[in-house]
Chain A
Amino acid sequence: MELDYLKTLPLGGFNFDNCIRNRAMAESGILQAPKTMKTGTTICGVLFKDGVVLAADTRATGGSIVGDKNCEKIHNLAPNIFCCGAGTAADCDHVTEMIKRQLELHRLNTHSENRVQMAALKLVAHAFKYGGQIGTHLIVGGVDVKGPQLIECSNDGNMYSMPYHTTGSGSLAAMAIMETRYKENMTREEAVNLCIAAIEAGIYHDLGSGSNVDVCVITRNKYEMLRNIKHDNFKVFSKPGGYQFKKDRVQVVEEFKHKLVVEAGEQPMDLS
């Protein structure tokens, strides 16, 4: 089925329609733009003997409110490449998702494994195009034909490679741990423990970071996602059996019921 109308629709890209309106509203004091979610993060990555370890905390903040206590900041880009994201939460989610699609297409076209360098370059090219307005601070890690790689990509389009990286608001605390305890050719155990220690430094010394520690270990042909490997900050308070409410607390004024048609399971996609 082809609808001519569809061809006139814009294909992807950003839409700037509301920019002028939003500025006008902000200037006349009607309404200020709402706060967006920031990851307010500590993330880090370390190279070890035969792979890469990436680690992140799990707090997302909007202003001083913790919006998400257990969010995922380690994104998958390809089977052999992962990336930690700090900065504006929406940007990290959507940019990594977009690059993931591009890499998958490349993989299918060339029948070969993606390279970490390529993933990083795509991220950096996208960030540079928007002159740092897209708030993505990423640590990309993976194992490809050239061995384990770790690259940091910042929002202004800068990338560089070192054996250990930290980013986010808690990066200073995490970097202190890295600088003192990093050594070359660590074992997997040592690398994971170092990452956990670095993220915990962020969690406990930076207000923007918190909750649990996620770790991802990537080695040749294998990755392991260790979600909430440390969870000292789970919710501890709850009333056993929960709260009971008085029946007359909730008074229903009006009720309206709408019967729904129950659909029979998954429907096949019509490809004609």
Chain B
Amino acid sequence: MSIADLQNEIIPEVNTHSVQTDGTTIIAVKYDGGILLGADGRSANNMYVGNKVSDKLEPIHQRIYCQRSGTSSHTSTIARYVRYYMEIQANELGNLPPVESAAQVMREIIYSNKNSLSASMICSGWDPYKGYQIYQVNSSGYFEQGNWALSGSGGTFIWGYIDANYRENMTRAECKEFIKSCIALACYRDSSSGGCIRLLDITQDRVERDYVQYDDFKIK
């Protein structure tokens, strides 16, 4: 009998606290000469906001970052595994690892454990082989590449906004404003997104973080 069976059937209920989930809005957008990642900062146990400045942008390698949504313990553990595999691959290559590898490892972990994991993640970054890339893996293990990616509970509220306002080859400043307004709008309508906005800019040469306080949200 496996541990999972035991947990479900035999062991009396011992788990008193609900799990912490990132009821999230995360978004990644390609612009002219880089990628901008954005995330809100709320992590909640049901009704209680456990952390209002949580960091959902996790480094995988020097130019690869992932964004997490779902059960935060699951996603941070997945990120930890991906980080480990990418470190090995980078050592073997003697060069930056491909973003696609990171995304594929992530997909493999999520797909092969999809019954016990709740995780939907975006993996994006730059590598010398294919340039800037954004990959998304949803909780069933479905994998896709695109010019932008959106995930989390708050995403539902801003699909239309993105469809209407996204343009290819935006400048960096335009893209930043676009992402800020996306997340601010999502936080406004989604009860499980909020807190703050965390931004991360990945270009070939550098990675730069930015932070917007809740008071500075602009909805219009």
Contacts of B6 in A (CB 8 A): 16, 19
B10 touches A23 (CB 8 A): yes
CB of A47, distance to nearest CB on chain B (Å): 14
B72 at the interface (CB under 8 A from A): yes
CB of A137, distance to nearest CB on chain B (Å): 7
Query: 8 Å CB contacts to A: which residues of B186-210?
Result: none
A132 at the interface (CB under 8 A from B): yes
Nearest to A121 among chain B residues (CB) is B80
- Chain A count of residues within 8 A CB distance of the other chain: 28
CB of A51, distance to nearest CB on chain B (Å): 22
Nearest to B4 among chain A residues (CB) is A131
Q: A87-B16, A88-B14, A135-B14 are in contact. Are A156 and B73 (CB under 8 A)?
A: yes
B20 touches A158 (CB 8 A): yes
From B47-55, B83-91, B95-103, the one touching the partner chain is B47-55
B11 touches A133 (CB 8 A): yes
Complex interface bits, A79-120 against B, C-beta within 8 A gives 1, otherwise 0: 000000001100000000000000000000000000000000
A20 at the interface (CB under 8 A from B): yes
- Chain B count of residues within 8 A CB distance of the other chain: 26
B9 touches A159 (CB 8 A): no
Give bound CA distance, A158 to B17, whole Å.
13
A159 touches B14 (CB 8 A): no
B165 at the interface (CB under 8 A from A): no
Give bound CA distance, A128 to B12, whole Å.
18
Q: How many A-B residue contacts, CB cutoff 8 Å?
A: 62
Give bound CA distance, A23 to B9, whole Å.
9
B151 at the interface (CB under 8 A from A): no
A42 at the interface (CB under 8 A from B): no
B71 at the interface (CB under 8 A from A): yes
Contacts of A33 in B (CB 8 A): 12
Nearest to B76 among chain A residues (CB) is A158
Give bound CA distance, A38 to B16, whole Å.
10
CB of A218, distance to nearest CB on chain B (Å): 23
Contacts of B14 in A (CB 8 A): 36, 88, 133, 135
Contacts of B1 in A (CB 8 A): 16
Nearest to B22 among chain A residues (CB) is A158
Partner of B16 from A19, A135, A158, A159 at Cβ < 8 Å: A135
B43 at the interface (CB under 8 A from A): yes
B73 touches A158 (CB 8 A): yes
A160 at the interface (CB under 8 A from B): yes
B17 touches A155 (CB 8 A): yes
A160 touches B73 (CB 8 A): no
B77 at the interface (CB under 8 A from A): yes
Contacts of B43 in A (CB 8 A): 160
Contacts of B7 in A (CB 8 A): 131, 133
Give bound CA distance, A159 to B58, whole Å.
13
B212 at the interface (CB under 8 A from A): no
Complex interface bits, B23-43 against A, C-beta within 8 A gives 1, otherwise 0: 000000000000000000001
A156 touches B76 (CB 8 A): no
Contacts of A133 in B (CB 8 A): 7, 11, 14-15
Give bound CA distance, A162 to B43, whole Å.
13
B219 at the interface (CB under 8 A from A): no
A229 at the interface (CB under 8 A from B): no
A22 at the interface (CB under 8 A from B): yes
Contacts of A159 in B (CB 8 A): 76
B15, B53, B76: which has the most chain A beta carbons within 10 Å? B15
B12 touches A158 (CB 8 A): no
CB of B84, distance to nearest CB on chain A (Å): 12
A26 at the interface (CB under 8 A from B): yes
A162 touches B51 (CB 8 A): yes
7 closest Cβ pairs, A-B complex: A157-B73, A158-B73, A19-B10, A156-B19, A156-B73, A23-B10, A158-B72
A26-B12, A159-B76 are known contacts; what are 8 more A-B pairs with Cβ within 8 Å? Answer: A19-B6, A22-B10, A23-B10, A38-B16, A132-B73, A133-B11, A135-B17, A157-B77
List the interface of chain A (C-beta within 8 A of B).
16, 19-20, 22-23, 26, 33, 36, 38, 87-88, 124, 128, 130-133, 135, 137, 154-160, 162, 172
List the interface of chain B (C-beta within 8 A of A).
1, 3, 6-7, 9-12, 14-17, 19-20, 43, 48, 51, 53-55, 71-73, 76-77, 116
